[in-house]
């Protein structure tokens, strides 16, 4: 007999439809043949499936079994084919019949005793199932049910074992679809523990961080050790707008494919904050491998990527950030396939002003020589600096302010300013794909950031004096537009341009 089942295979962060065809026919010698470009993990599954069938109380077919995973030209490389292949063997050998096999896709890894084990990418598979009109639902391991149920257009059936799956398909055991809990998840896990009120002093730095959040600008912080750079960076997600449902699902897909969703949290409801160590490789940062997988910049999608001690990173590793910073996506190409991963993140970088960390610090003496400082700073290229909109100095906070100073501006107050600016940008870019000032194209910059004569003269003088590039010129105008949005001004004024220019002066002060 021939049995056909619907299942899915992961390709990057997407799920592609696969048909598992199982044919059992009479033969002198029992033999199982697996075709359809299976990778090693899929080839090894045959032994696991055979023992799971026997230990679940079923009869192992003693005939010739041919298993085809179509389409044949697409590599199959996950253990999620265990359950559909096992069900195919049972159906093809006449041990059960079910009309539901045409209505439900099936994914799942089997233990030797027939119990279900979780799989990666259940969310992507549920999204793919919802896009196929012939499918009514998706059968997944119970551990993955809440994750897949985020997609409301498909019935998600949670099963704990192979025997339970067969009982459901033969309608001996009714199983209700897992309900979607998207709104409950946002209420339960949407709050942040950190707050900008914990940061004493640094009000000027907080304003720069607020502007970065308001316009989705990249920001670089320079300062001695212990001045609060990391505290400021970690609290950036608390003032960014809440994730929308679409953004949440888009981000969760990446974590789902990599198996990084936290237990009990099937959906990313807070903006991700990623802070990789400076020893990270190129592939670890942007993604890669023989089978392309997402890297840290994709894990930071719709969130924040924090690179602490920027000069300590390998220079070639930093250079691969150029294209993702400009385009919001990263393309990983290999000989056999190419994958595109989303990488729309805010970059926050921090560094010390010199190797010892105390250059220009009035409390400590710097012993670094000029050549040492030049070698340290020159690890960061000019083109990368050009792509960072705001450069600020984070000075040390005096003891009096730390011990007896008033509480700092809290996240709620700053978030209200960010929301005001974002609302203005949403209205401005309602008819385009741009969402924030930081994403404006050069044409949009010319249309939106028109200057009066005084502002134009100020900008021209500073661009000529500091030798800024055309990209840096546009960055200044984008930041100036954000400053105006925060203040509720429809026009760009001279003071807006002056403040934006000040946020570009650190690269000339420290890199000269």
pLDDT single digits (tens) 425-472? 999 999 888 899 999 999 999 999 999 999 999 999 888 887 778 888
Burial tier of 284 (Cβ tally within 10 Å: 0-12, 13-18, 19+): middle
Q: What is the pLDDT of residue 511?
A: 47
The percent of residues in the chain predicted with pLDDT above 90, rounded, is 68
Would you give the distance in Å from CA 476 to the centre of its chain? 28
Q: How many CA atoms lie within 13 A of 207 on its CB side?
A: 12
Burial class (CB in 10 A: 0-12, 13-18, 19+), 348: buried
pLDDT of residue 258 exceeding 90: yes
Q: If you average pLDDT over every residue of the chain, what do you get? A: 91
Q: Per-residue confidence at 301, pLDDT binned at 50, 70, 90? A: very high
Q: Are 397 and 226 in contact (CB under 8 A)?
A: no
180 alpha-carbon distance from chain centroid: 22
Q: First and final CA of the chain: distance in angstroms?
A: 77
Average pLDDT, integer, range 326-350: 89
CA pair distance 146, 158, nearest whole angstrom: 9
User: Picking from 155-169, 221-235, 397-411, 471-485, which range would have the lowest pLDDT averaged per residue?
Assistant: 397-411
Alpha helices in 197-288 (DSSP H): 203-215, 229-234, 245-257, 282-286
Q: At what angle do helices 182-189 and 245-257 cross, to 10 degrees?
A: 90
Is the pLDDT confidence value at 113 over 70? yes
Q: Which backbone phi and psi does 188 adopt, to 5 degrees?
A: -80, -40
- Helices marked H in 131-239 — which ranges? 142-148, 162-169, 182-189, 203-215, 229-234
Q: Is 507 a residue whose pLDDT tops 50?
A: yes
DSSP 8-state class, residue 312: G
What pLDDT, on a 0 to 100 scale, did the predictor assign at position 466?
79
pTM metric for this prediction = 0.91
pLDDT in tens, 71-90: 998 989 888 999 999 999 99
Average pLDDT over residues 254-280: 94
Mention every residue, 6+ apart, whose C-beta is less than 8 A from residue 286.
295, 296, 297, 320, 321, 324, 330, 332, 343
**Phi, psi at residue 430, to the nearest 5°?**
-60, -30
Segment 3-24 shows an average pLDDT of: 95
Banded pLDDT at 333 (limits 50, 70, 90):
confident
């Amino acid at each position: 007999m021939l049995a056909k089942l619907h299942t899915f295979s992961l390709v990057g962060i997407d799920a592609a439809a696969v048909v598992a065809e199982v044919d059992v026919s009479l033969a002198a010698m029992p033999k199982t043949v697996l075709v359809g470009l299976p990778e090693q993990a899929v080839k090894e599954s045959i032994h696991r499936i055979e023992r799971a069938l026997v230990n679940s109380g079923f009869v192992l077919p003693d005939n010739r079994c041919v298993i085809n995973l179509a389409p044949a030209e697409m590599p199959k490389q996950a253990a999620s084919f265990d359950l559909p292949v096992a069900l195919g063997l049972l159906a093809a050998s006449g041990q059960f019949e079910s009309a539901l096999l045409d209505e439900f896709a099936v994914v799942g890894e089997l233990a030797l005793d027939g119990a279900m084990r979780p799989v990666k990418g259940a969310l992507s598979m549920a999204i793919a199932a919802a896009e196929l009109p012939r499918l009514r639902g998706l059968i997944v391991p119970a551990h993955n049910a809440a994750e897949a149920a985020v997609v409301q257009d498909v019935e998600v059936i949670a099963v704990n074992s192979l025997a339970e799956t067969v009982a459901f398909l033969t309608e001996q055991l009714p199983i209700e679809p897992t309900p979607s809990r998207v709104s409950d998840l946002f209420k339960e896990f949407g709050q942040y523990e950190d707050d900008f009120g914990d940061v004493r002093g640094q009000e000027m730095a907080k304003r720069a961080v607020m502007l970065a959040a308001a316009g989705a600008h990249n920001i670089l912080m320079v300062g001695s050790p212990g001045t609060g750079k990391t505290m400021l960076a970690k609290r950036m997600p608390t003032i960014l707008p809440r994730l929308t449902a679409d953004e949440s699902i888009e981000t969760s897909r990446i974590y789902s494919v990599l198996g990084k969703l936290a237990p009990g949290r099937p959906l990313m409801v807070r903006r991700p904050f990623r802070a990789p160590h400076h020893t990270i490789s190129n592939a670890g940062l942007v993604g890669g491998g023989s089978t392309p997988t997402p890297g840290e910049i994709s894990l930071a999608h719709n969130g924040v990527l924090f690179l602490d001690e920027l000069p300590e990173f390998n220079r070639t590793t930093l250079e691969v950030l150029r294209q993702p910073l400009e385009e919001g996506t990263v393309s990983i190409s290999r000989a056999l396939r190419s994958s595109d991963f989303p990488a729309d993140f805010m970059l926050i970088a921090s560094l010390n002003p010199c190797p010892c960390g105390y250059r220009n610090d009035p409390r400590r003496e710097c012993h670094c020589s000029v050549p040492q400082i030049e070698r340290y700073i020159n690890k960061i290229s000019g083109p990368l600096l050009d792509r960072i909109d705001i450069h600020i100095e984070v000075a040390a906070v005096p003891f009096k302010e730390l011990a007896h100073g008033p509480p700092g501006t809290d996240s709620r107050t700053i978030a209200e300013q960010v929301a005001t600016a974002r609302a203005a940008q949403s209205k401005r870019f309602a008819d385009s794909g741009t969402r924030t000032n930081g994403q404006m194209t050069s044409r949009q910059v010319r249309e939106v950031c028109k200057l009066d004569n005084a502002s134009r003269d100020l900008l021209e003088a500073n661009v000529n004096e500091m030798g800024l590039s055309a990209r840096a010129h546009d960055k200044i105008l984008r930041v100036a537009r954000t400053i105006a949005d925060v203040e509720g001004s429809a026009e760009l004024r001279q003071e807006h341009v002056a403040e934006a220019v000040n946020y570009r002066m650190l690269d000339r002060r420290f890199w000269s």
